[in-house]
Structure 1
């Protein structure tokens, strides 16, 4: 199992706490008049964060994580993670973990196996491990 997924699964209940309604990720300012009440937290008057702004915040805050050899002084010139990049990474991990092409297609929402080529590119070590695990018993090397 992906450690990030496991950690996220453990943290999410704490973030949600006992909420049964209202947005979870909020803007820094009060919402403008006329905003739908389902998009506003009544206690604070703050509005739901847009997907675009959430993506910007995520990208900005993952620049050093995405570039571990960079120094903090270079942060403005770096690119952070995006949802799209995480999707590619997740599909690659699934492919390396042995997920079948139909499962990868379902997860990626792609129409053909050929379209998976750009998402799922298992590395050399992963391919060697896959072959070794499936080799007949007499041909296995230990």
Structure 2
């Protein structure tokens, strides 16, 4: 995969066929790289996340599992299920009600650019990222302090 900058470690990127047949590259971190082989098992083709029912007539061939006949799960629903089932793994001391979209929120708080947040989350527009980019009081204070010209002269 042609990339500028630091090469992606083996097993942390993959070429996928997105909904509608578009080819895209996706990237993941080490933890996902360790779990992904178990999820994929021996699958070599077809969508990975599937609905519970058979695909309705007229569903594009690329969006149907050739072995089960079930349809590809929508990105929105796949994200909901994933978040619901992994939320407490990311923050075991929090209650399920306290945790919402931690990864993107933390990245936004740490100053990750909008284009990078869009690329990582695979959202189509910056407007859809608004729910994640709500920095907390501590993040705003840190941001202001890091950009204080008087503080920079003292260090």
Relative to its length, the structure with more helix (as a share) is 1
Using structure 1 for the length normalisation, give the TM-score.
Answer: 0.47
Bigger Rg, structure 1 or 2: 1
Using structure 2 for the length normalisation, give the TM-score.
Answer: 0.45
